[in-house]
Every structure is written in structure tokens, then in C-alpha cells.
Amino acid sequence: MAEFINSRLISTLLGWFSIDALPPDHWLGFVLAALVHTVLVIHVVAVGALLFIWMERKVSGRIQDRLGPTRVGGKFGWLQTLADGLKLITKEDITPGNADSLLFKLAPYVSFAASFAGYLALPFSDGWVGHHVNCGIFFIIAIVGMEVFGVILAGYASGSKWSLFGGMREAAQVVSYEVPMGMCVLIPVVICGSMDLITIGQMQAGFFTNWIVFHDPFAFVVFWVYFTCATASVNRAPFDLAEAESELVAGFHTEYSGLRWSFFFMAEYGSMFLVSGLAAILFFGGWNGPIPIFGPDLLNLAYSDAEIASGTFRLGGYIANLAGCMNFIGKAVTGVTVMMWIRWTLPRLRIDQVMTTCLKYCVPLGAVCFVGVVGWQWAHLWSPNDLRPQQPRIAVRERGLFDLPAREASGMATRVELTDKAAWAGTVPVPAGETR
């Protein structure tokens, strides 16, 4: 991208004014490329929240046999959120006298930053990711857990008992639900043998039978457990005890107004999209559509492995990736819609019911399914999945870390490659000149 901007766009532009072209690794291209990507990802959260809030109103309206917003912006009231946003900007920014003003002011940003940082490692299509983190799923789970910190801070710093109760409930709930959520996330990791979200997505390429949710009955159950835990961990009804309007006024954001309040909601909708996107990648094939239109058997447009590795640009591959991105966003938005549907269908749980759901149902279910999936793999039982064979798993990479020539001279192993299960069983012949 940076090379493209430098060598094509800027140099063409400079050529009109007969100025010398830039070298392909000039800093300007990198800065522009970084800006374009950052703005794109920020808009997933910002514009996404605009859309989701409008959708929430429409969905709730239809579920309650109302019309929802109909006037702002003409048909369907699709500018309703913008009007809301204008209203929020004009509101006075109040800090209560009792509050710890520094923490009170910073808490919304903490929440938002944590929610947004998760998008760093979320791939939107094959190779379209902010930063390719090789343990991406672990990173996202760690970051999503941080969002609660902003809520707790808000609850504590507001200096109001409603807020404090809300914050405490949220803390208890999120800390508990991280346990079953971690277990559920582990299952696709075990099936794919990788924590890399891009690898997990690539392995599910092909027809929809390759999606991990269809791997075996246990994996199917685990998806629902994951979705329950994800709903709870992003603090959505029926698990929205932290705001509980009927009991705690508005919980942790009772004292907030204006733009700070809306930051909490951008964070909430951002997290909803994040965990739904994670569900799409882990269980529903990520950017792979139900039918591999762009795959090698039909149109054969998608990038090949070699092209991904070398980073070449081809229009067909770009179109395939764009369609993959739309697939992914479609799946994630479906997840968000289901969360809205659940919110307006189920009543709020009591705190003890929330804990019971987690500790007595989700954790045992997650544990049983974990053993079940591992057993299914171990016994080589039939599965609809025909996961794409991975590239040889390089278990050990040591370029640059050790002094290779010296070790080669002393006859030590320079690298150990594990290609498949056989290697783990110790049956792979050791290549000549290498010791394991």
C-alpha cells in the first residue's frame, strides 16, 4: 500500500508538476497508508455505532409492535442517530461535585480505547488486518477484558451509590464470564492448532460445511455457550445489570451526560461488533462465504498462498477480498442483530441468576464440550469439516536469535519442523544433518 501510494499516486501527481518521483519507501507513503487504514478502522466503530443505534431503535420498535423512528432523514428515520448525536453534543458536560473528577473524566476514554484496541488484531478479510498478531485471539480476549475497567472506574469515580452498585455488578459479572468464554474460544484453537485468527479463517475456506460450528456436535453447542458469554461480557441485556434502569437508574453512567455518555455507548456497540466478528471467524468461517465463489474451483480469483506471502496486488484477488470483507461484516452484523433481538425479547436476569448461568451452566458445558471436541479429534470420528491442510507448521523459528553459523559448525540442529501429528508422535524421520 505504501509503495503503491509512493510509486503510483504521489509520483504521478508530482510528475504533472515535473518534480522528481519519490522512492518507493519514502515516509510520506507510509504515513498516508497508515492514515487511510486507521480512519477506515475507526469508522467501523464510529459509523457502526450510528447504524447500530438506529437499528436498535428499529428492531425494538418492531419487536414491540411499534414503528420506531420514522421522520428524521425521510424514510425509515435513518438519520435518527445523527440527530441524537447533535443533541448529545449540545448537552452540558457535567461533573458531579462528589466525583473524583480526573477518573470521572477519563473513564469513558478507557472504555472506548479498550474496545477499539481490539480491532487492531481483528482480520476483516484474508490478510486485511491492522496488525497480524500471531496470537490474535488471545490478544483480543485480553483486550476485551479491559473494557470493564472503564466501567468500574466510572462507577467508582461518580461518587453515587447507583453508579458504584453498577460498577461492582459489572466487575463480578465480567470476571466470572471470562472463564467460560476462554474455554469456548479454546475449542476452535484446538481444532485449528493455531491462535492466529487469519490461519483459523483460512483453514475454513471452501463450502459452509467447513465452518467449525459444524465440526461436531460439541463444537455446535460451544458456539451457543460462546455467544451467551460474549453477550454477558459486553454487558448486553439480559445481562445488562450494570445499567439496570429499573433498579439502579442507569447504573454506572447515571452521572454522565453528553459526549462522555455517548463514548460508553460507542464502546458498547464496538465491543458487540468485535465479539460477533470473533464468533464469525472462530465458528462461521470468517470471510469465507457459504459457497466458495472466488475459490480455485469456481472463479479462481482469490489470492493464492504464494501471492499472500509475497504481497502481490491483483485486481481479482482484491475483489475476492472485498467480497470476503462484506461476508465478514454481514456475519458480524447478523450477530449484533441477534443480540438486539435477545435484548428486546428476554427480561433482565437477577444477579444470582447471572452467576448461576455462568457457574452452573456455561462453565460445565464449556468443559464437557472441550473434552468432547478433543476426544472427537483424538478418535478421528467423522466430521463434515474438511479443513484446508495448513502450511507446514514451523514449530521453531530461530532466525536472528541465535548464532546460526556457529551452531551449524558444531552440528546442532538449526531448525525443527513439525509437519503433522506424526511429528508429535516422533515418527518423522530426522532429515540428514539435523538432530532433534
Partner 1 sequence: MLFAAIQWHSFFFLLFALLTCGFALAVVFSSNVVRMAFFLTISLGAAAGLFFLAGAEFVGAMQFMIYVGGTLVLLIFGVMLTAHERFISMKTRAGEWVLAAFLGGGLFLLLVRAALMVPQWNSPNLQRDQVAQSEVHDSAAIGAAVSAYRADGLPSSAAPAGTAASPGKSVYLLPFEIVSVHLLVVLIGAGYLARAKKRTSANAWQA
Q: Which is nearer to partner 1, 51 or 146 (CB)?
A: 146
Cβ pair 144, 232 in contact under 8 A: no
Supply the minimum distance, in Å, between the C-beta of residue 142 and partner 1: 4
Q: Give me the least distance between CB of 234 and partner 1, in Å please.
A: 15
**Beta carbon nearer to partner 1, 149 or 220:** 149
Cα-Cα-Cα-Cα dihedral sign, residues 100, 143, 273, 350: negative
Which stretches of the chain bind partner 1, using CB under 8 A?
Answer: 26-27, 31, 98, 100, 102-103, 106, 110, 133-135, 138-139, 141-143, 145-146, 148-149, 152-153, 156-157, 159, 164, 167-168, 171, 175, 195-196, 393-402, 407, 412-414, 416, 418, 424, 435-436
Contact predicate 270/115, CB 8 Å: yes
Q: Which is nearer to partner 1, 142 or 249 (CB)?
A: 142
The CB-of-290 to partner 1 minimum distance in angstroms stands at: 31
Least distance from partner 1 to the Cβ atom of residue 240, Å:
19
Q: Is the peptide bond before 108 cis (omega within 30 degrees of 0)?
A: no
As a whole number of angstroms, the distance between CA 97 and CA 389 comes to 62
**For residues 361 and 402, which CB has a smaller minimum distance to partner 1 in the complex?**
402
Which contacts qualify for 72-81: CB closer than 8 Å, 24 or more apart?
A: 78/54, 80/53, 80/54, 81/49, 81/50, 81/51, 81/53, 81/54
Q: How far is the CB of 349 from partner 1 (least distance, A)?
A: 21
C-alpha distances in Å from residue 31, one per residue of 6, 34, 90, 113: 10, 5, 34, 22
Q: Given the complex with partner 1, which of 89 and 396 has the nearer CB atom? A: 396
Q: How far apart are CA 64 and CA 76, in angstroms?
A: 16
Q: How many Å apart are CA 212 and CA 25, to the nearest integer?
A: 40
DSSP helix/strand/coil, 128: strand
Pick 386 or 398: Cβ nearer partner 1:
398
Q: Is residue 378 classed exposed, middle or buried when 0-12, 13-18 and 19+ CB atoms within 10 A define those classes?
A: exposed
Residue where the block lists cell 466487575: 171
Q: Which is nearer to partner 1, 164 or 339 (CB)?
A: 164
Residue 173: closest CA among 338, 345, 357, 364? 357
Question: Closest CB to partner 1 among 307 and 417?
Answer: 417
Please report how close the Cβ of residue 150 comes to partner 1 at its closest, in angstroms. 10
Report the nearest approach of partner 1 to the CB of residue 9 (Å).
18
Helix (H) or strand (E) holding 110: helix 101-117
User: Which long-range contacts does 130-138 make (Cβ < 8 Å, 24+ apart)?
Assistant: 130/37, 130/41, 132/196, 132/198, 133/196, 134/195, 134/196, 135/195, 135/196, 136/195, 136/196, 136/197, 136/198, 137/185, 137/189, 137/195, 137/196, 137/197, 137/200, 137/278, 137/282, 138/195
What is the closest distance, in whole angstroms, from the C-beta atom of residue 136 to partner 1 in the complex?
Answer: 9
Pick between residue 146 and residue 319 the one whose CB is nearest to partner 1: 146
Four-residue CA torsion sign, 329, 333, 336, 342: negative
- Distance between CA 38 and CA 271 in Å, rounded? 17
The residue type at 153: L
Least Cβ distance, residue 436 to partner 1 (angstroms): 5
Q: How far is the CB of 291 from partner 1 (least distance, A)?
A: 32
Tell me if 75 sits within 8 A of 239, measured CB to CB: no
Cβ distance to partner 1 smaller for residue 141 or 219 = 141
CB 262 to partner 1: min, Å: 22
Of 145, 358, 165, 342, nearest to 245 by C-alpha is 165
CB nearer partner 1, residue 154 or residue 362:
154
